[in-house]
Structure 1
């Protein structure tokens, strides 16, 4: 069905008024109270350009799962068939699959998380040899709380432990052992022979699934933060914040997804804060992960990719000047990134 630009603008305006909807951060979806289940902020109407997976005016509720795949069916369910352009096909000519698929229910986006206690005897620190060795400054300690158990809890000896905070609540933690990878591997080879305990390089909380969490999420100011740089881990967030001086920047924030992929819940959390642009800043060797994540995000945000020229390096290896050049001259659209990595 062809809809002209003027017709599309009129439809969007009328649907915003009918649903009491707002634009999401990327300007590609109308977000509203679901007309079926009444859940606030869970009903979305896609108004972006047509893609292989999305067509304009498809709608879905992330709470009750009810969906419409055509403009006609959406307007019929809203009781606003008067908005249907006059020259569109009759509903009688539409294939059965285009009708409201009550059985085609997608899972609800579960963004509920519980408060998680920190390990016993955890205390915040403002100086630590391991972190000093990784370049931590006073501003880093102030902006990114971290602590230890002060050798009062053997399970956590030689770990630095970062709380993961969401809306002011601690919803998880990430612990990094202070030994090098070589030292840990050597100990674990000895432990395998002696029967002693193994050391985990990373030891994290288990109460909440990390696909629901984003590190530094509270740095995103709703309605103010326009751009988020997605990175893999906590130290990437700290390094970019320090080297780009983002401590007090309300428009740009670095956020970690705890790995080289992003979940639907994490996308929803970014969307709900009004983020418009996402810059993917995964490590230089994560080519396929970057391509996949860019594809996932493009339906909801303007997407750019910070392409580190040397695949052997990450943000911690780069100087502030090198990082500045990446963001000033090395940002690529997903299509440009695909073309430059065509042989990889």
Structure 2
């Protein structure tokens, strides 16, 4: 039976009090006197995250070798079977796709992903003039892998490539040309007339549909990250994390949906990690897209909308003070946001 977070915390607290146990240095075990051989400080109860080999509340004595393998066995051993959790319906439990999205066919909630290869001759960079012009600092290079192919791969000349990581695997990439949108459009107008090679602003991976991907998804820590800010693009993620210094923050994460839409698969990926609150941080001029996303997200999360005061600006353009004011004073519920836009 799966335990909820509150049930687990209650059990740890009660077992610690019963046995006079203390956490070890890694905070993954309760250490106390062995109930079998009575040796002090030799009995360990595992309370870390479950793995294939380690299960919650498994215990072992490093003196006499006695062990228990289930919560029920442990509670019987210490004489506290009254703490055994009775199975009841858990309203906060994560749901299977077919139950989470009852109006959708199960095959539409497919979050399976193929592991892909980055373009030939891709090499990670820790110093790049284009990224520097976009505000990159040392910590950004560390936290957000980016690279180029140099001149060894003509297809990606003058592109910066951002791998998209999911569960530690590379499942996609975004290749962004270093020229501005205006420069590319100007070049392409001339190239069309002359029959020359035209430049694509983005040259992205194609193996996995981007509606199944979230940039910076691995920053969402299961059952630890309770709030996620959803933005449009990679540079929005980097800018918010840099300006708010969220690099190592486990409670708040920032992810990008690669545009102004969010899919059911992306919603499921966030819900499956126990996220409770989402803040929609799409560009200020994307009013209709924000309303639609809020309606879709509102079925599964508490939703707030970051109402950027100047619709011509995005997170990259905003100063720290403007970002702080937006998140401190301009967070609105979907209803408040809708009413504000109607009045305008």
List alignment gaps of at least 5 residues for structure 2: 1-85
Does residue 99 of structure 2 align to residue 44 of structure 1? yes
Q: Structure 1: how far apart are the matches of 2:314 and 2:246?
A: 18
Per-residue deviation, 1:22: 4.9
| Matched-pair contact (CA < 8 Å) for 2:285–2:311 | yes
Residue by residue over 1:163-182, the C-alpha shift from the partner in whole angstroms, topping out at 9 and shown as x without a partner, is 00000000000011001222
- Who is 2:61 aligned against? none
Q: Structure 2: how far apart are the matches of 1:31 and 1:173?
A: 29
- Who is 1:192 aligned against? 192
List alignment gaps of at least 5 residues for structure 1: 1-15, 33-40, 46-58, 66-104
Residue by residue over 1:196-232, the C-alpha shift from the partner in whole angstroms, topping out at 9 and shown as x without a partner, is 1110111110110000000000000001001000000
Per-residue deviation, 1:106: 5.6
TM-score (norm 1): 0.72
- Who is 1:293 aligned against? 293
Q: Structure 2: how far apart are the matches of 1:204 and 1:243?
A: 27
Select the residue among 69, 94, 101 that pairs with 1:31: 94
Higher relative contact order (CA 8 A, sep 6+): 1
- Who is 1:145 aligned against? 145
| Matched-pair contact (CA < 8 Å) for 1:31–1:44 | no
Q: Structure 2: how far apart are the matches of 1:107 and 1:296?
A: 19
Cα RMSD (Å): 1.8
Q: Structure 2: how far apart are the matches of 1:305 and 1:263?
A: 18
Higher Cα radius of gyration: 2
TM-score (norm 2): 0.72
Instruction: Report SS of the residue matched to 2:203.
Output: strand
| Matched-pair contact (CA < 8 Å) for 2:97–2:106 | no
Q: Structure 1: how far apart are the matches of 2:299 and 2:128?
A: 42
The 3 A distance-change label for structure 1 pair 157 and 22 is farther
Residue by residue over 1:127-160, the C-alpha shift from the partner in whole angstroms, topping out at 9 and shown as x without a partner, is 1001101110000000000000011101100000
The 3 A distance-change label for structure 1 pair 108 and 177 is closer
